[in-house]
Structure 1
Amino acid sequence: MKDSLVLEQALALIDNGLDPVLLFDAQDRVVAGNTALRNLLGGQLDTLIGRRAADLAGSPVQMLLSGGDTFAYLGADDHHGYFTAQDVRLPPGAPAVRARLLRDVSEVEHLRAEREHLQTELAAQTLHDPVTGLLNRRGLLVALEPQVSRSRRYNSPLSVIVMDVYGATAEAAFLVRISQILKDQLRWADVIGSSENHEFIMVLPETRRDDALSLTEKLNERLGREFQGGNTAWAAYGVVEWQKTDNTSTLLRRAQTALDQARATRDGRSAVAL
């Protein structure tokens, strides 16, 4: 027959463990802790004995007694760490009825934070929109810069259309379908991008504004054929032509302003503003 472990026996088993452990009595007071816990507290374990979590309101130590999932703790010598906690009921008959096992997951959390940072940096470096596969705004700026330089050098025409499409279908599939329509309608030399707000941006080399306007009419006709019944789609367009005072930023800004004007007059139908 197994004898229940007394407090001293339990401590003997856990005292040399690497993870901090707290023991609680039936009144949820701390009755003991191991060496790892004492080290975490900077040798101040005695200040916890006989205390409940509620007694430590406002103290960082309270998290050690009551924190759940993953929590941060500022320990001795300003050592900042992350811990998870597991509470285990102990067999009856001993002064301690519950053990709280703390696992230091600081390295895991730091790796997670580093991964998120790298993912953010990677997203900032990518040139394509993840939904449509088109150039994102950064990629579009890279593609637009030489076109603006060419227009400035040779005084060649260049137009930009910013298009916002409205529809009743599922957003991701809808955006992909619109991107396919644009690829079908535009020339190989034209550049198509998608902004973070899912506005479509078309860069049209050797294209006057009137020809760009004709393209918006063709796009409207195509939208009417592709989306019928309950899945109708309509669009607002901002159309501008490069001017000698334009750089890439001002050209796109003027196109965006024109789009905003078209949105204001849309009223459930496709609209164009210059």
Structure 2
Amino acid sequence: MSHQPPPLVFQDMLTHHQDRALLQELWEHFPEHMFLIRVESPQRFVVEAVNPAQQTTIGYPCVGLTIEELLPDAEQARSVTDHYRDCLACDHPLRYEEIGHFHEESGEPLHWLTLLVPLHDDQGRTTHLFGISQNVTELRLARQALEAQNARLEALVAERTAELQASNARLEALASRDELTGIANRRQLITLSEHAMQRARRQHTPLALLILDIDGFKAINDTRGHLAGDAILREVAQTLADTLRESDLLGRFGGDEFVAVLPDTRAEDARHLAERLRGAVTQRCGCTLGLGIADFTPHDDFASLVERADRALLRAKRARGASR
């Protein structure tokens, strides 16, 4: 393929022979695409010259062709001429990235980074557009591969994070829940109750605490076995949870003892609720409960409140025993 000399519009700018020889060397061997577009009107752009690197990529004679003739695909041609018109409108060098005007042998589109420079005549009119296009396909594909890999890593991190959060939630549940009954264990009950008491103390609102145990639980274990005793504990815990209000706190305090903390509840109202609890347990579980009630004072902590409720429970048991 014969190589074209540099465009006359460039050669006319150079009067010294050595300058022209340097320009010839640059035009012949510059590895990126160099091209000169003649501006016949803002709607008509004609290829005036391309360097050998671009001629090799195009693969057929293109000098003298309009952009529409060079690129039969109307959308591609419109994309190119839109950039040309933008350069005319701003009248200063324009850099942009484009894709797909020429393809690799595999059929994959090429990515180009193009610098477009307007050239003017003596009257300042833009007569030509000089462009240099660099093939950045490998860079673009590498960037896309990196972005895809980053997306996969982000998805993997999100998956592992979700698994870790689920594991932490399970561990937290194990640490805060009674393994047998599923309600709060003693440690969690104390923590939640202390928060409730702080709120009652700060807002000057009432609070009551119930302590309940299962009458004759040792006899159940001794006569029916520990599996039966465990089943009773689970049934009682579920019945208490179903009967209490959503705002109430319930936990297994130890053995067959349960504690319920009742925010915004005075002792008298707590007694009514306690009787509902006893009735529900008797009906659903076939056993009876002993209970003690303590009314919160600003000087109480959890231990003192439980201690008073426990004393009330013992008094109630003695009174029930004496009445039989």
Say which one has the larger Rg. 2
Give the TM-score normalised by structure 1: 0.48
Which has more helix, going by share of residues? Answer: 2
TM-score, normalised by the number of residues in structure 2: 0.41
